[in-house]
Structure 1
Amino acid sequence: MLQSDEAVKIALLTMYIIGLLFLLTTFLFLNHLNGKLWTRFSTGIASVILIMTIILVFLINVK
């Protein structure tokens, strides 16, 4: 059972890291495209990145 829990945790971490990288890439691409850092959409993306990072930190720290 412990081994399957560890596999699920690794899968979640991998999914979250890929999602964060995708959102960060989208954020930087929109910054390059629009020429300004903060638009409504980029603020939403930054909020999602922050929330996902908080969840990721909790996932790493939970034993």
Structure 2
Amino acid sequence: MTRPTFTCSECGTHNGLTLFKDAEICIQCYLTAVRRATEMGRRHAFMRAAESKSWVTALEVLT
């Protein structure tokens, strides 16, 4: 049995997992966004936004 693959909405690779209802995101892009949020001192806000399962909402925290 093969695992399903998808194309990441951010980088275009064909691997990883999706945690969001409005985008398919690979784990590398997700961790990069978490790292950026941490560097900006907004990690808690990013994680709360990510809990809403909306990638767009989570990225708004970083802008």
TM-based fold match above 0.5: no
TM-score class, shorter = 0.3 to 0.5
Of the two, which has the highest radius of gyration?
A: 1
- Say which structure is richer in helix: 1
The structure with higher relative contact order (CA 8 Å, sep 6+) is 1
TM-score w.r.t. length of structure 2: 0.37
